[in-house]
Amino acid sequence: MRQYEVNFIVDPVLSGDEIKEAAQTYVNLIQDSGNKIVHLDEMGLRQLAYPIKKRTTGMYYCVEFQNEDTTFIPKMELALRRDERIMRFLTVKLDRHGVEYNDKKRKGLIGKKGGKQEKLKEEIKEVKKEAVAPIAKSVKSEEE
């Protein structure tokens, strides 16, 4: 079974209900076509890298789903293209590494806490303590 991820940006000028309705439209489209939704991520309002339709922000959504029928993707993309509420979209077929990465990210193994950067910062703090400890001992002995 193939696994896909579709990211889309909804126009932020719409009301909160209209934004959720636009996102739910595509979630329902995916489910009604016999696909299994693995994860739905409502990322919220974010700054755009460049203006789109004279807007500088957008409501981001990411839907990860499993699909066997390859004819569904062009139909979904056509619906996204025609919808004026959608500013941009991107559909990606995930390989096994992408699926594994997304699973780890959802479980909290990848991210800000517990990531490589956090471990490196802790190691640097330990090295600094070890380097300062002999100096601190010598300063204390001189004071006495």
Q: What is the pLDDT of residue 56?
A: 93
* Tokens matching residue 4: 């896909």
Q: Is 28 helix (H, G, I), strand (E, B) or coil?
A: helix
Distance from the first to the final alpha carbon of the chain: 73
What is the per-residue pLDDT across 47-80, written as a single tens digit (0 to 9) for each?
999 999 899 999 999 999 998 888 899 999 999 9
Q: Has residue 114 got a pLDDT over 70?
A: no
* pLDDT tens readout for residues 1-29: 899 999 999 999 998 899 999 999 999 99
pTM over 0.75: no
Q: Is the pLDDT of residue 131 over 80?
A: no
As a whole number of angstroms, the distance between CA 20 and CA 23 comes to 5
Sign of the Cα torsion 44, 47, 49, 52 reads positive
